[in-house]
Each structure stands twice: as C-alpha cells, then as structure tokens.
Amino acid sequence: MSTTTLHPPTDNNAAQAHQQRRANSAQGSHRQYLRSRSNPALSSPARSASHPDPRAGSPALRQQERAALLKKAEHVASKEVTPAEEIPKDPQTQKLGVSSPHLSIHDFELMRTLGTGTFARVFALKVLKKVDVIKLKQVEHVRNERNVLAAVAGHPFITTLITSFSDATSLYMLLDYTPGGEIFSYLRRARRFPFATVQFYAAEITLILAYLHDVQHVAYRDLKPENILLDAEGHLKLVDFGFAKYLPPAPEQSADSNGATTPGPEHGAGVTYTLCGTPEYLAPEVIRNSGHGTAVDWWALGILVYEMLIGQPPFWDQNPMRIYEQIVQGHIRFPTSHSTHSGSSGHRPSLHVPRAARDFILSLCKTDPTQRLGHIAGGSKRVMSHYFFDGLDWDEIYYRRRRGPIIPRVEWVGDSGNFDEYRIPWRGRRARGAGGGMIVR
C-alpha cells in the first residue's frame, strides 16, 4: 500500500491555505514534494548504495542481508533504552543506518491491504526519485538526512533508520514504522492540550534537542507538530531530518600569554546561512540571514509549546511576509484574562496560561539568540532546570518508565488508521502513511 503523504492542492479557504503553508518549507512547495517522498540514501560512493557493485546482489545474498538487518533492528527495538552519551558507542546501533549495496525494493513486500493478518514487524519505506533530487538541487539535504539519521539511530525519541539502498531510478530509506500518527492531528482535534500533556512532550523534545546539539552537534531546523509522531505507548518520535545539519563546535582558541587555551563557544558555535524551515517556526536570525546555529531549535520549541497550549502559533498571517515581520519584532501575546464570546454557545472562559509556561516560552523566544534559553550559559541543562518542568523526573522520562498522556488507538503493528488520507495528484488515488513512502514488511 502506497503511503505518500502529499497534501492535496489548496483552495481559497484560509484555514486550508494555512495548513498547506505549514506543510511547505520556507524554500517553497517543491520541498514539500520531496519531503513527502524523500530518502537520504544518496551519499558518497564509499558509503552509499547509489553506486552498487554490478556483480553483487544475488537473491540469496539479498535475503541473507535483509534478515540480518531486520534482526538487528528487532534487537535494538526490544533492548532497554541506552543512555544518550552511550548511543554513539553502542555496537548494535552502529550497525544500523549503513547503506546496503545489495538490497532492492523487490526484497520487501508492499502491503496493499491493511488489517488482514498479523505480522511481527512492519517498516516505513521512504522513496525518492534520483532525477528529482538532482533537478531540484536537493542532493545536500538528502545526504544530510541520511547521514544524521544513521548517526542518531538508537535514541528513544528519534525515528530509527534501519538501512538505505537504491536502484537505477530511486533512493530508498527503511525506517521503523511509528503507528500513532502526527501529534498535529491530535492537536487539531483537541484544539489545545492540558498543561501536563504539554509539559511531558516538551520534556521529551528537550531531551532530543539536548542529544542532537550536545552529543551530535546537529541543528534540526524544522521542529513543528507535523514532524512529531506518536508511538503505540504515547511517546514521541521525531521524523523528517531533511533540514538537519551537522554544525561542529568552534576549535579551541590560541593560547594566551599564560599558555592557557580558551575553548570556543560550547553551544551553537557552528553557523549556517540556508533559509529553511516552516514560516511560523522560523527564528529571527534565519529571516535576517545573519547566520544561525542550534539556537534556532530552542526558539522553535518555544513556538511549539505556545501552539500546544493555545491552539495556534503566536505569529500567523495569510501573508508569509507578515509572519516574518512579526517574528523579527518578537512580540508574543498571551490570551487575556476576561471571558470571550464563542458564537451560539454564548461565552467561554479564556485560556489560562500558567506563569511557568509564559516565562518558559518568553525565555526560549528571545529575538537575540545570545540571550535565548538553551543558547546561554548552561545550554540544555539550563532548559531542563527551568521551573516549567518542576515535578518531572528526567530519568523517568528518558527511560520511558511511564506511558505518554496520549495513547493512540493501534489495533495491530501495521495499523495506519492514525494517519490522514491524502490524494496523490499524479496517481489519482488515495493513500495513507507516515512521512511519505510505503508500509512494507
């Protein structure tokens, strides 16, 4: 069953236009098309299957490699959570994410009908046409996504890349399937989440960003509800690393007169200038094109917490340029304390945003990144110690010792009922799925 998740063309309705723009990146609608079907198997010839050995690939060899890969994936999925600092050293996770020169699309069964039978494990397969990668100049983004996902395989809140491979026309990326669907869908139905729910998911995202920034030196650069999935136990899985970029810290400075060296900035030392992301979640420095680093992810966390609590992002307009102007100004407004009218239902009490949440959002959404929580001295540990998280046990969160506040309805391991249906324009049919591609076993 094909599961490409392209959104249908928008009409004149403002809400649909807003949702479509949310799906698109700041680089335009082409990015949405690629992200819906992308697979970062395009890498250097030394590591990628983009240049397979024409002598390799007998059916027996491919089946042997497929079985070995799935066994490793099963082992990693069933083992206890590995401490974040140990993930890069784990020999099991190091075997995941490596490109295969032997596997092909024919080594997997595409699930055309769902709900019949029971399978031990299913996977999500992302697909990207090589001609599109080259034509739209997305080679670097595709390579970055594959390399970053391979490096972070094994983190409890990041989607796991099993392997990648290619054929003459397409690139493929085999990922663990996350059946709960986008957290955006749950937020859209509920309109807003209670404080305890927001606090829980903000904590899991904080742990993700701390790992990406402090251990892997990676800026994610596209945090938003559409890129966050829920697993069967209600925990987050961050997906779509097409904008992720490795930003190594600055090298140590030269020795001073006393012979001592002064280390470079610990957080956000790497700088890049690419305009990318989703309009409502862009940090001011991205819009100004003044150079940005990992601090943009902490800004996006503040916007995400606001949207989960209030039901909409703090900066929005039908005209993206107006959104950018609002972001650069940086004036975040919270709901007033008086009652508001709600059509035929009379009036309803206004939202109450706890003081801890207000301070947390405002601290993350400083227009000057040098003053932004997460980027100032203390880095991610300063974020974790904020009183917004009072009462949380961080070990309990990281090691998944409690179930998430939202438990998706999942009837079987290949259930795709939690994903919205989208019409695929070039195929004229409907399909479902997680971040594009197909569900396979």
Q: Cite the active site residues.
A: 222
Tokens standing for residue 311? 């039901």
d(CA 157, CA 400): 10
d(CA 222, CA 245): 11
Residue 369 contacts residue 268 (beta carbons within 8 Å): yes
d(CA 249, CA 22): 31
d(CA 370, CA 291): 13
d(CA 190, CA 236): 17
Residue whose token pair is 């090298």: 251
Q: In the beta sheet, which residues pair with residue 25?
A: 28
Residue 191 contacts residue 197 (beta carbons within 8 Å): no
Q: Which residues contact 163 (CB under 8 A, 6 or more apart)?
A: 69, 96, 97, 98, 99, 100, 103, 173, 174
Angle at 30 between CA 22 and CA 321, to 5 degrees: 50
Q: Give the strand pairing for 438-440 and 123-129.
A: antiparallel
CA-to-CA separations, 121 to 161, 182, 312, in angstroms, rounded: 14, 20, 36
d(CA 308, CA 184): 9
- Listing DSSP states for 223-263 in one string gives -SGGGEEE-TTS-EEE---TT-EE-PPPPPPPB-TTS-B--
d(CA 180, CA 157): 13
Which run of H or of E encompasses 197? helix 195-210
Residue 126 contacts residue 173 (beta carbons within 8 Å): yes
- Our CA dihedral for 399, 401, 402, 407, rounded to 10 degrees, sits at 70
CA neighbours closer than 13 Å in the CB half-sphere of residue 81: 13
